[in-house]
Chain A
Amino acid sequence: AQRVTQPEKLLSVFKGAPVELKCNYSYSGSPELFWYVQYSRQRLQLLLRHISRESIKGFTADLNKGETSFHLKKPFAQEEDSAMYYCALLYGSSNTGKLIFGQGTTLQVKP
């Protein structure tokens, strides 16, 4: 069965430190993976999708099919990065829009 795991509930770092939010998945098909972010008092929004291989707000994420991972990284954390981050997998084919989410990781960036 499909599954997304984010092992850390809370990640606390100082401003300027590197950040890595872990995400592992289990899926028999070809994975379509995303990172969504929820800032305080804001709605959930897309941060990254693996197919784009882009950098958004300094964040990158690489799909590693061998390790079934999609970790989110940023070399230098900023205070405005403090938020809840969810890793998500689109499952049941692209014809449903169904997402399965990890448990979420709260990133706290201290000044």
Chain B
Amino acid sequence: NAGVTQTPKFQVLKTGQSMTLQCAQDMNHEYMSWYRQDPGMGLRLIHYSVGAGITDQGEVPNGYNVSRSTTEDFPLRLLSAAPSQTSVYFCASSNPGQNTEAFFGQGTRLTVV
């Protein structure tokens, strides 16, 4: 049972490069989200999706794009990487309902130099 799978686990980028962080879930969850984890700041929501074809911005969306063409996949694109985007990125999925549990991927550690 894979749950939420993120690739890659580690990545180093040069300033200005672009890349896509992949996220896939096999639990048929409707909701998917991307968070970034920074020391002393907890996890902050970047973008989220409530279903295929529907996405919206979270707390810190600038510099990131997302799309949701299928229920399973929710890639996060960095268009032009900046050192401020050095962080650990987590993808999560869940289903609608009160007090529903979110399931997280193992994280992607990104360094922008």
CB neighbors of B among A21-69 (8 A): 32, 34, 36, 42-46, 49-52
Known: A44-B90, A96-B50, A98-B33. A9 touches B98 (CB 8 A): no
Selected from A36, A51, A100, the residue in CB contact (under 8 A) with B98 is A51
B-side residues, CB < 8 A to A, are 4, 30-33, 35, 40-45, 48, 50, 58-59, 90, 92, 94, 96-102, 104-107
Question: 6 closest Cβ contacts across the A-B interface?
Answer: A97-B31, A101-B42, A44-B104, A51-B99, A101-B43, A103-B42
**Could you count the A-B residue pairs with CB atoms below 8 Å apart for me: how many are there?**
74
CB of A70 closer than 8 Å to a CB of B = no
Contact assessment for A97 and B40 in the assembled complex, using a CB-CB cutoff below 8 Å:
no
Contacts of B40 in A (CB 8 A): 9, 103
A-side residues, CB < 8 A to B, are 4, 6, 9, 32, 34, 36, 42-46, 49-52, 86, 90, 94-104
Chain A residue at minimal CB-CB distance from B33: A97
Selected from A6, A50, A95, A102, the residue in CB contact (under 8 A) with B96 is A95
Contact assessment for B102 and A97 in the assembled complex, using a CB-CB cutoff below 8 Å:
yes
Q: List 22 A-B contacts (CB under 8 A).
A: A4-B42, A43-B104, A43-B107, A44-B43, A45-B104, A49-B99, A86-B43, A94-B96, A94-B97, A95-B96, A96-B48, A97-B30, A97-B92, A97-B94, A97-B96, A97-B100, A98-B48, A98-B58, A99-B43, A99-B92, A103-B41, A103-B42
CA distance A97 to B101 in the complex (A): 9
Contacts of B58 in A (CB 8 A): 98
